[in-house]
């Protein structure tokens, strides 16, 4: 009996492709955030992550918008996309308790999008 031949990419090839796509999407997000920072004129800085999960998140990008804080966790690989942005010692106003859903609402308000 002949050994069945594999059709299509292997699981490891699919995983590698998914990782590459993820990094591409994150890099594009980072570029959009740089454009926002450059053109909006809002205060933006990096702060050390409060409790990095086994080194996964190294820093947090904090943007103070008219609607409130916007923040994104950054891995070490993301940081080259934010060279030149100040790294600050955490202050009480670096995080206002905003969760992801609230951040999305703030972004939608800033973009003039109604849900």
Q: Where are the domains of the chain?
A: 11-111
Q: Closest by alpha carbon to 95, among 55, 49, 32, 34? A: 49
pTM of the model: 0.75
What average pLDDT does this structure show over 1-23? 79
Lowest-confidence segment of 15-29, 51-65, 101-115 by average pLDDT:
51-65
Q: How far is residue 56's CA from residue 61's CA, in Å, rounded to a whole number?
A: 15
pLDDT at 13: 85
pLDDT tens digits, one per residue of 76-92: 888 889 999 998 887 77
What average pLDDT does this structure show over 17-42? 90
Q: Given CA atoms 115, 106, 42, 99 in this order, what sign does their dihedral have?
A: negative
pLDDT at 98: 86
Question: Around 3, how many Cα atoms within 13 Å sit in the side-chain half-sphere?
Answer: 2
Q: How far is residue 29's CA from residue 35's CA, in Å, rounded to a whole number?
A: 10
């Amino acid at each position: 009996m002949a050994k069945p031949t594999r059709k299509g990419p292997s699981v490891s090839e699919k995983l590698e492709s998914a990782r590459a796509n993820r990094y591409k999407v994150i890099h594009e997000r980072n570029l959009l955030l740089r454009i926002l920072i450059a053109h909006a004129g809002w205060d933006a800085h990096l702060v050390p992550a409060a409790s990095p999960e086994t080194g996964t998140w190294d820093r947090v990008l904090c943007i103070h918008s008219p609607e409130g804080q916007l923040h994104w966790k950054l891995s070490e690989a993301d940081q080259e996309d934010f060279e030149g942005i100040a790294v600050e010692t955490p202050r009480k106003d670096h995080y206002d308790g905003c969760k992801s859903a609230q951040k999305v609402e703030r972004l939608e308000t800033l973009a003039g999008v109604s849900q």
